[in-house]
A and B are shown apart, each in its own frame.
Chain A
Amino acid sequence: MSAVLEKVRTQGNEARYGAIRIDDVVKIYDPEGAAVMAVDHCTLDIKAGEICMIVGPSGCGKTSLLNAIAGFHDITSGAIYMDGEMLCGPGKPKADPGADRIVVFQNGALFPWKTNLENVAFGPMMQGKLSKKEIIEKARSMMADAGLSGTEHNYPGEVSSGLRRRVEIVRALMNDPKVLLFDEPYRALDSLTRSVMHESLLDIYYKNKVTIFFITHDLEEAIFLGHKLVIMTTRPCRPKKVLEVDIPHPRDYSVLTSPRFRELLEETASVVHEEARKSFASGEKEG
């Protein structure tokens, strides 16, 4: 185990796939009518295997950017590439959603009518790549690895919210995705559960080769988890400050009290605060 962790260090988990390039992306909702500009000429490079944390005030357009990468809606101009391949861009305004980029949703999107095991098995079942038996076996073993044994036959509504988040991540990992897209997944959790979730997320990250695109509005969470920290402007969103977090991985909770963490927090807090104030002044509502 420790050998694996050694390798992780600052470089991330050595994933070779899942580099995302966001190139001058603009997203305008309802261009003919109200014309709400959510993303404004946003350019951002995310390396394969990197944890990229996006911080910005509510309603600034973070989810819009994530939805564009996931392929839930089109972009107005610009382009998004994954490993050099265009997901969307000129001539193809909307990316196709696919199992190489999986979203973990803000409020969780485990299907409440399926058991945890059925949820985890869902992706491969739909894609029909493996036999049913193989899928169930793989799902069970992945759930066991994530400490979810014994909850296979519970429905998501029967387990705690923290466990639900973990099941959802395992459901995504079942598909060997290149990128995991998190949209404020821990927002509704209490701080104790959240800290447990952070550690389990890092644990999962160290064991799987994925790139992580993680939206949050919690700066501490962002610095604690990320290799890269991107602070967005208030709507329309555009990177205002991009920062490499030079605290080596693997990290644990002692990082929170380290001097470097405090320094980074101080360095960024005023920037975030300023954007939050602008956003508040303009009466922005979250989307």
Chain B
Amino acid sequence: MEQVERLLKRTLPFQVVSPETLDGIAEISRHEVFKAGQVIYGAGQPAEEVYVLVSGRVAHRIDPDIKARVHEKELQVGDVFGWAAILEGEKVRLADVACIEAAEVLKIDGARLLELLRKDVNFGEAALKSFSQLISQQYYLPPSVSERVPTTLSKVGDTRTPASNEAEPQTASAWTLTMYRASAWLKSPDPYLMMVGFALMLGFWYLTVEVLKLPRFEDLPGLTTVVKEWFAEDPVYGMSIYTAEYYQHIWVSIRRVAIAFLLATVLGVPLGLFLGWSRSFREYVFPVFELLRPIPILAWVPLAIIMFSGSETPVIFLTFLASFFATALNTMLGVESIDESYTRAAACLGANRWQVFKEVIVPGSMPYVFTGLQISVGVAWFSLVAGEMVSGQYGLGYVINTSYTMVRYPTIIIGMVTLGIVGYTTSAMVRVAGNYMMQWRLREMALGGR
């Protein structure tokens, strides 16, 4: 008996209880031995007893239906398992537990354990809290499980909970995942480091230009000047968040990028898919593609102006071109990245060539396609500004260029910052769309803790 008590005293939840309670628990503990390979219990079975591992090696595998961050672990001597027996609601095993080597365990009846802990006015609650902690920290289970430990004494004995608790959806929806990631992000140091980064950059700008007036910096528009201009109802240089002109420039640029990006996607993705899929097609097309791709977008400007009339189409063409190459190339790489066993498996299962294309090649290359699309929006903005600086009547690139010739320096900065914000937003939108369309990947990554 004493030995049992000493062992219990070492386990996390029972460390805290009073000596009398410990006595009681030791009294209701039963000793049992399992052979190597023997199953102690399986998921879905009724859960009546809580276990403590005394010796040996035991594998614990949580039912894959349950959202645990880690599903498989090996238990250490002194570990408490089988705590499903004291959860509120339906008491069923949540895991398969089997012996890797012969193992000795203590079995403690769950209902009687709860009774004992309830009697321990001083420490019972702490022990139950520690159970709850154990479930979330050592078994990596979400609060939906760990909170089912009846941690307040009044709740003990009330074993029935509304059925709604049980009917929790089995798979996380995109929304809960997104929220989960957002809250994880907020809890990590990342957002605060990011703020520090911004503060440093703005501080540098302010100091060098306005306070220290360093050579080479002193002619630049200062932080305060730009901010004042940007938010001025009556801007000195004619453009702020209160002028319609500002939004017209933004709108024109976004429209151009959107058209070019859509065209590039509609043409680039299929081209990339076929390049990756059909060897003979690739042999015809790829060399031409590879020859054109490295030509800088600026080198296309004269041709664009000669080929297309007006100021709108040449800019869209230039923007399109860069996006198109990025999308097509990444899509092709995506097709090449697909493991041969997937196409082979599909062939085994009776898929014809077209079905393999539709069911394997297209979804299999999606991760690369979306990487390509993110690069594609990025280069779209890049070439848009190049195009707008040369030709065009509106747009953020045009604003930046004309503000320079007309010596409206703060407006240049406003145009630049706006470009940054709008560019970032569009590329974030592509990322969100990609995550939405590739739930399988998102879930895989969420589970991998990435």
Contacts and interface: CB of A to CB of B under 8 A. Distances in A.
Asked if A pairs with B, the answer is: yes
B171 interface: yes
Nearest to A129: B350
A72 B345 CA distance: 10
Contact of A111 (B98, B100, B344, B360): B360
Contacts of A107: 339, 341
Interface string B339-370: 10110111111111001000110011010000
A152 B61 CA distance: 19
Given A153-B170, A160-B64, A163-B64, A102 B348 contact: yes
A237 to B, nearest CB: 20
A122 B349 contact: yes
Nearest to B355: A126
A192 B100 contact: yes
A143 to B, nearest CB: 13
Interface stretch (B152-160, B204-212, B379-387, B440-448): B440-448
A104 B355 CA distance: 20
Nearest to B37: A253
A97 interface: yes
Interface in B76-124: 98, 100
B419 interface: no
B148 interface: no
B350 A109 contact: no
Contacts of B59: 192
Interface in A105-127: 105-107, 109, 111-115, 122-123, 126-127
Contact of B61 (A114, A123, A155, A160): A160
B186 interface: no
A103 B345 contact: yes
A140 to B, nearest CB: 14
Contacts of B441: 112-113
Given A154-B170, A158-B447, 16 more contacts: A102-B348, A109-B344, A111-B360, A112-B441, A113-B440, A113-B441, A122-B351, A123-B349, A150-B65, A153-B171, A154-B64, A154-B65, A155-B440, A160-B71, A175-B349, A192-B98
Nearest to A195: B37
Interface in A136-180: 150-151, 153-155, 157-160, 163, 171-172, 175
A70 B363 CA distance: 24
A122 B348 contact: no
Nearest to A118: B359
B348 A103 contact: yes
Contacts of A159: 64
Nearest to B366: A113
B220 interface: no
Interface of B: 37, 59, 61, 63-65, 71-72, 98, 100, 170-171, 339, 341-342, 344-352, 355, 359-360, 363-364, 366, 438-441, 443-444, 447
A151 B64 contact: yes
Nearest to B345: A109
A99 interface: yes
B357 to A, nearest CB: 12
A115 B64 CA distance: 14
A106 B100 CA distance: 25
A90 interface: no
A105 B345 contact: yes
A71 B64 CA distance: 35
Contacts of A163: 64
Given A103-B344, A113-B364, A192-B98, A127 B64 contact: no
Main secondary structure of the interface of A (DSSP, over half): loop
Contacts of A150: 63-65, 170
A101 interface: yes
Nearest to A97: B347
Contacts of B347: 71-72, 97
Given A122-B359, A150-B65, A160-B64, A97 B447 contact: no
Contacts of B359: 111, 122, 126
B363 A111 contact: yes
Given A151-B64, A195-B37, A126 B348 contact: no
A70 B344 contact: yes
Contacts of B342: 109, 111
17 contacts: A70-B344, A98-B348, A98-B350, A102-B349, A103-B348, A106-B341, A107-B341, A109-B339, A111-B359, A113-B440, A122-B346, A126-B350, A153-B170, A160-B61, A160-B72, A175-B349, A192-B59
B369 to A, nearest CB: 12
A101 B344 CA distance: 12
Contacts of B350: 98-99, 123, 126-127, 175
Nearest to A110: B345
Contacts of B65: 150-151, 154
A99 B438 contact: no
Interface in A214-271: 253
Nearest to B438: A113
Contacts of A106: 341
B142 to A, nearest CB: 14
Contacts of B444: 112, 155, 157-158
Contacts of B341: 105-107, 109
A150 B64 CA distance: 9
B443 A157 contact: yes
A253 B346 CA distance: 34
Contacts of A195: 37
Nearest to B347: A97
Contacts of A151: 64-65
Contacts of A113: 363-364, 366, 438, 440-441
Nearest to A153: B171
Given A113-B438, A192-B59, A126 B72 contact: no
